[in-house]
C-alpha cells in the first residue's frame, strides 16, 4: 500500500547541560510548579466533591464555549449503575443473554392486576459494566447512569433487584444514550415448514406479540402415507416488530424456527 508519509526523524541527544541547565532551569521549574499548586490543586477533593453526580461539579467543568458535551453532558456516556423502567420492560431476556459475566438473572416482579413478569436483576459483585445489556435492550428500558457509588459492607446489597433499579430510573439521572447506534440486524426468524406442528408455543411466549398463527390448507394424504399429526396453522413473524430475542426459538418443541436472512 502506498502511503503519503514515511519520513523517519532521528531524535538527537540533548546539548550538554551547563550550570544553567543543571541548576537554574530545574529550580525554576520546581518553583513554578510549587507556586501553582498552592492555589490550584490538580486533584478533585473526592468525598467533599462528588465527581459525576454533583451538579455543582458539572457547572465547573462545562466547556467554556458553551456548547454541551455529549447528548447532555460528558458524564452521560459513563457506564455506572443501571436504571430499569419496569413499566416498559417486555421480559425478552436479551440483557441476560448478552451478559458476558452472567450476572443478570430474570426474576418475577409484580406487573399489576395480579399478574407478574420477568425483569432483570443484576449482581454488581459480578458486573463488569461493559454495557452490552443496555446495548441489547430493544425497548431502551435498561440503561446505564453515571451513578457509581455502590460500595457496601454487605455482599447482599450488591444485588440490585428490578425494583431497586426502577428507583434509580425515577431519580432521572442522565442515561447512557448509546443504544441509538445499534446496527440493523440482517437475520430474521425463519420457519422449517415440514417440522412445524402448529403448537402456538412461539406465539404464546413472544414478548412483543409479533408472531401470529395463520391457518394453512390441510395437506392431502398420498396413498400409503399417513398425515402428520398437527394443527393446521403456522407462525408468521412480523419482522419490523420483532426484537430478535430468540424466545420463540428456545421454546419451539420441534426446533423448526431458526435464524437466517430473508430471501
Partner 1 sequence: MSEMWINMGPQHPMTHGLWNLRIKVDGELIVDADPEIGYLHRGIEKICEYRRYNEVITLMDRTCYVAGIAWEQLYIMAAEGALGITPPARAEYIRVLSQELQRLSSHIIWYAAYVQDIGLMTPFLYGMRDRDLVLDLFQSYTGARMTYEYMRVGGVRNDVPVGFTDRCRKVMDWLDGKLVEYEKVCDNSTIFLDRTIGVGILKAKEAIQDGITGPVLRAANVARDIRRDRPYSAYPEIDFDVAIHDGADCYGRYRVRMEEMKQSVRIVRQVLDWLDRNPGPVLAEKVPRFVGTPSPPPGKEIYVERRGYPKGRGFSSMEEPHGEAMAYIINEGAEHPYRAKLRSPVFVNIAAAKDYLIGYRISDIPAIMGSVDVCLGEADR
The residues that touch partner 1, with contacts defined as CB under 8 A, are: 1-11, 13-14, 17, 21-22, 25-26, 29-30, 33, 42, 63, 65, 67-71, 74-79, 94, 97-98, 100-101, 128-132, 135-136, 144, 176-178, 180-187, 192, 244, 246, 249-250, 255, 257-260
- 162 neighbors 134 (Cβ within 8 angstroms): no
Q: Which is nearer to partner 1, 29 or 219 (CB)?
A: 29
Q: Residue 159 Cβ, how far from partner 1 at the closest point, in Å?
A: 21
Q: Residue 101 Cβ, how far from partner 1 at the closest point, in Å?
A: 8
3-class SS of residue 176 = coil
Phi, psi of 33 (to 5 degrees): -60, -40
Query: Cα(173)–Cα(97) distance, rounded to whole angstroms?
Result: 26
Q: Residue 143 Cβ, how far from partner 1 at the closest point, in Å?
A: 12
Q: Which is nearer to partner 1, 112 or 260 (CB)?
A: 260
- 186 neighbors 100 (Cβ within 8 angstroms): no
Q: Which is nearer to partner 1, 135 or 163 (CB)?
A: 135
Q: Residue 227 Cβ, how far from partner 1 at the closest point, in Å?
A: 25
Cell of 94: 436479551
Q: Which is nearer to partner 1, 125 or 177 (CB)?
A: 177
In the chain, the N- to C-terminal Cα span, in Å, equals: 37
Which residues on adjacent β-strands are paired with residue 192?
none
Q: Residue 133 Cβ, how far from partner 1 at the closest point, in Å?
A: 10
Q: Which is nearer to partner 1, 106 or 130 (CB)?
A: 130
Query: Cα(78)–Cα(140) distance, rounded to whole angstroms?
Result: 16
Other C-beta atoms within 10 Å of 257: how many?
Answer: 23
Amino acid at each position: 500500500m502506498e502511503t503519503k508519509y514515511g519520513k523517519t526523524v532521528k531524535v538527537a541527544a540533548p546539548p550538554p547541560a551547563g550550570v544553567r541547565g543543571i541548576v537554574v532551569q530545574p529550580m525554576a521549574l520546581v518553583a513554578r510548579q510549587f507556586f501553582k499548586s498552592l492555589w490550584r490543586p490538580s486533584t478533585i477533593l473526592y468525598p467533599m466533591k462528588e465527581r459525576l453526580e454533583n451538579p455543582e461539579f458539572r457547572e465547573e467543568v462545562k466547556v467554556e464555549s458553551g456548547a454541551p458535551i455529549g447528548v447532555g453532558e460528558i458524564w452521560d456516556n459513563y457506564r455506572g449503575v443501571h436504571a430499569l423502567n419496569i413499566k416498559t420492560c417486555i421480559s425478552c431476556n436479551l440483557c441476560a443473554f448478552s451478559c458476558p459475566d452472567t450476572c443478570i438473572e430474570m426474576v418475577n416482579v409484580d406487573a399489576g392486576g395480579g399478574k407478574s413478569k420477568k425483569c432483570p436483576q443484576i449482581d454488581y459483585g459480578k458486573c463488569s459494566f461493559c454495557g452490552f445489556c443496555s446495548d441489547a435492550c430493544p425497548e431502551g428500558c435498561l440503561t446505564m447512569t453515571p451513578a457509581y457509588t455502590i460500595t457496601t459492607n454487605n455482599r447482599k446489597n450488591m444485588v440490585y433487584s428490578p425494583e431497586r433499579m426502577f428507583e434509580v430510573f425515577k431519580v432521572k439521572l442522565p442515561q447512557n444514550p448509546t443504544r441509538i447506534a445499534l446496527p440493523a440486524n440482517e437475520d430474521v426468524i425463519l420457519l422449517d415448514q415440514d417440522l412445524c406442528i402448529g403448537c402456538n408455543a412461539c406465539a404464546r411466549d413472544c414478548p412483543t406479540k409479533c408472531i401470529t398463527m395463520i391457518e394453512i390448507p390441510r395437506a392431502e394424504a398420498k396413498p400409503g402415507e399417513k398425515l402428520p399429526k398437527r394443527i393446521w396453522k403456522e407462525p408468521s413473524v412480523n419482522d419490523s416488530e420483532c426484537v430478535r430475542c430468540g424466545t420463540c426459538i428456545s421454546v419451539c418443541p420441534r426446533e423448526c424456527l431458526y435464524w437466517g436472512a430473508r430471501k
